[in-house]
Structure 1
Amino acid sequence: MAVPAGGASSQGHGSLLSGAGWAGDGGVDPEDLPDGLVVADERGTVICFNSAAARITAVPRAAALGSPLEQALPLEDLKGRRWWTLTDPYGGLAIRYGQPERNLLLPGGREVLVSARYIREHPTGPVRRLVVSIRGTEARRRTERSHAELIATVAHELRSPLTSVKGFTATLLAKWERFTDDQKRLMLETVDADANRVTRLIAELLDISRIDSGRLELRRQPVDVVAAVGRHIQGHTASGQDPDRFLVRIQQPLPDLWADPDKIDQVLGNLLENAVRHGEGTVTIEVSAASAKNDEKGTGVTVTDEGPGIPEESMSRVFTRFWRGSKRGGTGLGLYIVKGIVEAHGGTITVGRGPCGGAEFRFILPVGAPAYLS
């Protein structure tokens, strides 16, 4: 960030970053910056203190302007040392050009993220301007909490199946001859099921990583949504569900759909499994032509059950990480991944209450085009 070396009035700061004094074309008003901006002159007097800085520090702008930097921004490091005394920007090393972003404390222990830039007229000359950027820590704290929750969830979900796998394999190795073939088969089937559970969890974590980083790969091909719904229903009936529990409604004609077949299968599988496991009564799946974003042609799929539904106050959190609702098992990551997949296709997904009071999930995918996107 370049700041003019000429003088600036302590009565305002509009000219500091805009007009003739600003090094760029067009200028930037400090009030347009999303972060707090504090600028001190060569004497350490505050000449710029924007609204974001006043909001983050709870220091009135009028009190900050014209006052010494240490007084307007009395920062301490996490060990309680006064920050400006420790770093000594005006009297310290002449080859230093700033301070990297770090966590510092305001009076009362409020934490902020602070970085600083020293502006010198010459490479080793005195500091002519000290530019300080201030940000709140709320976003970082939310990210840190999310990561901590993810680690705790993964550790919890892995512990149970791995304990089971270790126990059965150790028992079989130590006492193989003592078990009948049926007992061995039962234990190995349990090990296989637990290994599949671990594999699914790892796949979910990889999906989350790709969604969060914007690297979810889509291999678009023609997708027959009706056939995909049929396959999932057959899977549920083969595992013991009553075929009469499922009602499929297709509104023809349907537009051609270009999407990633595996990812669409993942979306359908998750929504149907939730309806079967957590809902009650008939599970209705409707497929029809729909209007996607920007009035594009699209395909809409609605999955509805007749269970207790999702409480109104929880609707806004359904697609967030770790949301399980009351009495819900699993990692709480499935619907977060579903939303990420749908949006990666350029589609939308919503949740609401069905005609019979159960949960209703509806996603709409644009027709798309044959392409490989990453």
Structure 2
Amino acid sequence: MTMAASRYSDARQFGAHTPEVEERLALLAEASRVLADASLEPPAVMERLCALVVPLLGAACTLRLVSEDGHWLRTVASAAATPEARRLFQTLSPPAVRADEGPSHEVLRTGEALWVPDLDPQSLREWLPPQQHGLLKDFPFTRMMVLPLRARGRSLGTLTVWKDPAEAERTVDAGEQLLLQELADRAALALDVARAYAAEKQARQAAEVAAGRLQRLQRVTAELSRVLSAERVAEVIVEQGVEAVGAARGVLWVVEGDHARLLRCSGYEDPQALEKSFGRLPLDGPHPVKDAIREARPIWVESPEAMADRYPELDVIRSQTMRAPSPASTCLPLFAEGRVLGVLLFAFTEPRVFAPDERAFLELLAHHAGQAMARARLLEQEQRAREELAEVNERLAAIIQASPASIILVDSDGTVRLWNPAAERIFGWKPEEVLGQVLPVVPADKQAEFRRNLEKAGRGESLGGAVMRRQRKDGTPLQVALWTALVQPAGGGPEQVLSMAVDVTERHRSEAAQHFLAEAGGVLAASLEQEQTLERVAHLAVPSYAESCGVFLTDPDGTVRCVASAHEDLGLRAQDGHPAPGLAVASRVVASNEAELRTRTRTNTPECARSPGGTGVCAWLCVPLQVRGQTLGALTFATSRRDYDAQDLSLAQELARRAALAIDNARLYREARQAIRLREEFLSIASHELKTPISALQLQVQSLMAGLARSPSGLTPERLGRALEVVDRQVKRQTQLIHELLDVSRISAGRLELSPEPLDLSAMVREVVERFEPELERTGTRLELSLAPESSGLWDKLRIDQVLTNLVSNAVKYGRGNPVHVVVTSLEDSVRVEVRDRGIGIGEEHLSRLFHRFERAVSERNYGGFGLGLWISRQIVEAMGGHIAVRSELGVGSTFTVDLPRPRAG
């Protein structure tokens, strides 16, 4: 740009074109009045000033002020003489020009006015944008004066006065310049005063705002200091924070893992809809709330346009949901403990610029909220920890109280500090009896071991279920499984030892009982000899289970006798001399088939007497020996060391069951051996008995055949008759032997069939006796009959014949030729038959087995037969409901009695 310029530094006199002094003074007075009007804002004052300059001092006027950064001159007021010129001037006057270019730069730099008499159009083109270059042809101004606006030594702006083109020949004289400069100086002074006033007012307002914010912050902070939960922190910070910052709405989210959860909101018409849409925000994706959390810094959104520019995706979503964005909002992270705990959103009803002090206030509010949130969480965690600890302590106390194991806490010297109900139940002492005392459950002979265990526990060597002997309050011993552990008190006091004990006395008793039964089972199974087995069982029970043990068995006649015994204390006997509790108790138990138990007494009793000098204390058990529904005898146990209880009774009964089974097995074994012996004997007898008649037959037949061979006519009738009589007798004997064997087979198979019919027993006896007349005559035996006149009944005739034949045959055979008496007696409900002989008789030891199969009371060498006749007779009589018995004395004779029932009349 080329310009011809002249500088006026001094104007001392007025020229020919200077206005009248009065007009200028009036102008200055009006300017002073306008500039002094405090009711006008600075822009309005500047407009009035420009209007005073035009048209008196120029055709147009522009007032520009320097921007805060000093780079620009911004147009704040302008005026022109005509409306057309005003419109054109306002169009061509830019809102701001650079302060470092053109005439204004020179004026600002030197602080002196600059007169431009001839403005180059090219310079104007440089000042204007291209679209306005076409208007320059109508621009009427080519001369101007630029004056500085200075106050207190600094430039505030410029005052540009454009001269009327009609006065092109006229220059600005010194007086006019002085007047313009005076106006500019007064304008600068007024502007500086206005600015100072505005600054003071703004500072005062800022102080009031700051004081209000501080007051609100203190109120919020005071409220936050009283809350103890995250929910209350959210309530206070949202409800009071909205009021404190002048927001319309507020929301607080807390961070939980990979998402943020809505905790509190305020100012929303439909909180449920907000909760549904934003109750759980994933932390990925664009969103001011998410950015505040991820970046840990505030997000300021000052207008909807700013929101749309920064988050276009959200703008699309809002357009789809017809939800308008907040005009302005801020998202403040709640930062504490080195991490973001949540985010606080404030939304405003109008766009706004968040000034630095407002931002600082909001960040300070968020800081206090974050600290309160962290403190509340810490308090909640502490409260939860306390509650959990209290719950754990309560649960631990309940466990200790309900524990089936005794829990005892002792000091290193054995002083008891904890004693739970199980300890009282197991050992018998109450807590008040043992707390503060040395542990009393340790027997005197175990004190040294107890001290060693305490020392080991102090070194960290714990016991893990070791079985120890302890004692109850009443002095009775018990076995406990013991666990120990070293305990360091939380308060840092002396170390203590915790012990847990389980009463295993019963378990040990059970194990000992099982071991005892197993050992007894081995002993019982080791031998089938009854006497040897029972002696072993008796000695097995002493001394582990009893001090005295007796085995009593029942004889066939019902007599109970002691067959085996063992004693640790020979003085522990009943008054009858048998092992306690004695024969009377054993007999009673055998008869009742019920076990008996007695605890210890302090006086001697018939069941348990002691030798002189003894304690007189005895507990005893007596249990029956039962097997297959039969009572074989009884087992007795006695001790003076303790009482027997139900468990001991159960053990004794189990031992008795096994012993009875062993006794029965021994009996069966003995009977099996006897049966084998009888079988061998029977086979020998049978072969002999079957062979004898056959041999006799064979001899008779051979004798007859030899006689016929010598002389066919040499056999006399007498000889032939005698031979045939022998043959007939041997055939009958053979037939009888075969019938007996067949009867044994039938009876053993349960196929003995009876065919009852009316029968006169006396007539039946007479008939049988008549058949024995040849035998009686041959042996010289006299048979006497005593028959009842009325002896009728319903019986099987053939079987009765068989029984009577067997009894009469035995009487004749064993009677040694002495008289035989047969008596038939009629009783009320039965008929009795007695067969008496005065023969060899039967020994007492053989009577009990006389009616058994293959049993014989005499030698088969002297008396033949299978030994089956009496057994078969007994089976027949009992099958008819009757009874057969024998009375005999060796060398005196025998009497066999048969009772047969008969039906009552009617």
- TM bucket, shorter chain: 0.5 to 0.7
Hey, what's the Cα distance between the residues in 2 that align with 1:219 and 1:13?
Answer: 58
Q: Contact 2:843/2:857 (CA < 8 Å) preserved in 1?
A: no
Q: Contact 2:849/2:855 (CA < 8 Å) preserved in 1?
A: no
Counterpart for residue 896 of structure 2: 361
Q: Name the CA shift for 1:13/1:208 in 2 (closer, same or farther; >3 Å).
A: farther
Q: Contact 1:286/1:301 (CA < 8 Å) preserved in 2?
A: yes
Counterpart for residue 785 of structure 2: 248
Hey, what's the Cα distance between the residues in 2 that align with 1:193 and 1:351?
Answer: 29
* 2:823 alignment partner, one of 277, 281, 286: 286
Kindly indicate whether residue 858 of structure 2 is the aligned counterpart of residue 325 of structure 1.
Answer: yes
Task: Find the residue that maps to 1:364 and give its secondary structure.
Answer: strand
Kindly indicate whether residue 795 of structure 2 is the aligned counterpart of residue 262 of structure 1.
Answer: no
Hey, what's the Cα distance between the residues in 2 that align with 1:351 and 1:203?
Answer: 24
Q: Name the CA shift for 1:175/1:218 in 2 (closer, same or farther; >3 Å).
A: same
Counterpart for residue 236 of structure 1: 772
Q: Name the CA shift for 1:193/1:357 in 2 (closer, same or farther; >3 Å).
A: closer
Could you list the per-position Cα deviations for residues 280-316 of structure 1 after superposition, in whole angstroms to 9, with x for gaps in the alignment?
A: 543222222347xxxxx22111111233433333322
Q: Contact 1:10/1:48 (CA < 8 Å) preserved in 2?
A: no
Hey, what's the Cα distance between the residues in 1 that align with 2:524 and 2:776?
Answer: 59
Query: How far 1:352 moved relative to its partner?
Result: 0.7
Hey, what's the Cα distance between the residues in 1 that align with 2:774 and 2:755?
Answer: 29
Task: Find the residue that maps to 1:181 and give its secondary structure.
Answer: coil
Query: How far 1:49 moved relative to its partner?
Result: 4.5
Query: How far 1:173 moved relative to its partner?
Result: 5.1
Counterpart for residue 346 of structure 1: 881
What TM-score, normalized by structure 1, do the two folds share?
Answer: 0.56
* 1:142 alignment partner, one of 652, 659, 674: 674
- Between 1 and 2, higher relative CO (CA 8 Å, sep ≥ 6) is seen in 1
Hey, what's the Cα distance between the residues in 1 that align with 2:699 and 2:870?
Answer: 32
Q: Name the CA shift for 1:260/1:50 in 2 (closer, same or farther; >3 Å).
A: farther
1:22-41 to structure 2, matched below 5 A, reads none
- Identical positions, percent: 32
Query: How far 1:227 moved relative to its partner?
Result: 0.0
Query: How far 1:174 moved relative to its partner?
Result: 6.7
Q: Contact 2:843/2:888 (CA < 8 Å) preserved in 1?
A: no
Task: Find the residue that maps to 1:204 and give its secondary structure.
Answer: helix
Counterpart for residue 92 of structure 1: none
Q: Name the CA shift for 1:228/1:50 in 2 (closer, same or farther; >3 Å).
A: farther
Could you list the per-position Cα deviations for residues 205-235 of structure 1 after superposition, in whole angstroms to 9, with x for gaps in the alignment?
A: 1112222332222111112110011112222
1:154-303 to structure 2, matched below 5 A, reads 154-170=686-702, 172=704, 176-179=708-711, 180-182=714-716, 183-237=719-773, 239=775, 241=777, 245-251=782-788, 253-254=790-791, 256-279=792-815, 280-290=817-827, 297-303=829-835
1:72-111 to structure 2, matched below 5 A, reads none
Q: Name the CA shift for 1:210/1:284 in 2 (closer, same or farther; >3 Å).
A: same
Task: Find the residue that maps to 2:752 and give its secondary structure.
Answer: coil
> Letter of the aligned partner of 1:342 in structure 2?
V
Hey, what's the Cα distance between the residues in 1 that align with 2:752 and 2:764?
Answer: 21
Counterpart for residue 17 of structure 1: none
Q: Contact 1:275/1:304 (CA < 8 Å) preserved in 2?
A: yes
Counterpart for residue 55 of structure 1: 524
> Letter of the aligned partner of 2:747 in structure 1?
I
Q: Name the CA shift for 1:228/1:55 in 2 (closer, same or farther; >3 Å).
A: same
Q: Name the CA shift for 1:253/1:161 in 2 (closer, same or farther; >3 Å).
A: closer
How many residue pairs were aligned? 254
Hey, what's the Cα distance between the residues in 2 that align with 1:285 and 1:367?
Answer: 20
Q: Name the CA shift for 1:167/1:278 in 2 (closer, same or farther; >3 Å).
A: closer
Counterpart for residue 642 of structure 2: none
Query: How far 1:337 moved relative to its partner?
Result: 1.9
> Letter of the aligned partner of 1:350 in structure 2?
A
Query: How far 1:142 moved relative to its partner?
Result: 2.6
Hey, what's the Cα distance between the residues in 2 that align with 1:253 and 1:54?
Answer: 62
Query: How far 1:249 moved relative to its partner?
Result: 2.5
Hey, what's the Cα distance between the residues in 1 that align with 2:703 and 2:821?
Answer: 45
Which consecutive residues of structure 1, in runs of 5 or more, have no partner in the other structure? 1-8, 15-45, 64-132, 292-296, 370-374
Hey, what's the Cα distance between the residues in 1 that align with 2:797 and 2:789?
Answer: 20
Hey, what's the Cα distance between the residues in 2 that align with 1:160 and 1:54?
Answer: 49
> Letter of the aligned partner of 2:877 in structure 1?
V
Hey, what's the Cα distance between the residues in 1 that align with 2:884 and 2:776?
Answer: 29
Hey, what's the Cα distance between the residues in 1 that align with 2:704 and 2:788?
Answer: 54
User: What RMSD, in angstroms, separates the aligned Cα atoms of the two structures?
Assistant: 3.8
Hey, what's the Cα distance between the residues in 1 that align with 2:781 and 2:683?
Answer: 41
Hey, what's the Cα distance between the residues in 2 that align with 1:328 and 1:340?
Answer: 26
| More displaced stretch, 268-277 vs 321-330 | 321-330
> Letter of the aligned partner of 2:675 in structure 1?
T
Q: Which has the higher helix share?
A: 2
Q: Name the CA shift for 1:235/1:165 in 2 (closer, same or farther; >3 Å).
A: closer
Counterpart for residue 313 of structure 1: 845
Q: Contact 2:887/2:895 (CA < 8 Å) preserved in 1?
A: yes
Q: Contact 1:306/1:357 (CA < 8 Å) preserved in 2?
A: yes
What TM-score, normalized by structure 2, do the two folds share?
Answer: 0.25
Hey, what's the Cα distance between the residues in 2 that align with 1:211 and 1:260?
Answer: 15
Q: Name the CA shift for 1:177/1:208 in 2 (closer, same or farther; >3 Å).
A: same
> Letter of the aligned partner of 2:824 in structure 1?
V
Q: Contact 2:886/2:894 (CA < 8 Å) preserved in 1?
A: yes
Q: Contact 1:13/1:47 (CA < 8 Å) preserved in 2?
A: yes
> Letter of the aligned partner of 1:309 in structure 2?
G
Hey, what's the Cα distance between the residues in 2 that align with 1:337 and 1:274?
Answer: 14
* 1:11 alignment partner, one of 511, 519, 532: 511
Q: Contact 2:757/2:797 (CA < 8 Å) preserved in 1?
A: yes
Q: Name the CA shift for 1:359/1:266 in 2 (closer, same or farther; >3 Å).
A: same
Task: Find the residue that maps to 1:223 and give its secondary structure.
Answer: strand
Query: How far 1:56 moved relative to its partner?
Result: 3.2
> Letter of the aligned partner of 2:849 in structure 1?
R
Could you list the per-position Cα deviations for residues 92-116 of structure 1 after superposition, in whole angstroms to 9, with x for gaps in the alignment?
A: xxxxxxxxxxxxxxxxxxxxxxxxx
Task: Find the residue that maps to 1:11 and give its secondary structure.
Answer: helix
Kindly indicate whether residue 836 of structure 2 is the aligned counterpart of residue 304 of structure 1.
Answer: yes
Counterpart for residue 334 of structure 2: none
Query: How far 1:151 moved relative to its partner?
Result: 1.3
Q: Name the CA shift for 1:244/1:194 in 2 (closer, same or farther; >3 Å).
A: closer
Query: How far 1:278 moved relative to its partner?
Result: 1.9
Q: Name the CA shift for 1:357/1:150 in 2 (closer, same or farther; >3 Å).
A: closer
Counterpart for residue 247 of structure 2: none
Q: Contact 1:207/1:337 (CA < 8 Å) preserved in 2?
A: yes
1:118-129 to structure 2, matched below 5 A, reads none
Task: Find the residue that maps to 1:262 and give its secondary structure.
Answer: helix
Counterpart for residue 79 of structure 1: none
Hey, what's the Cα distance between the residues in 2 that align with 1:174 and 1:277?
Answer: 33
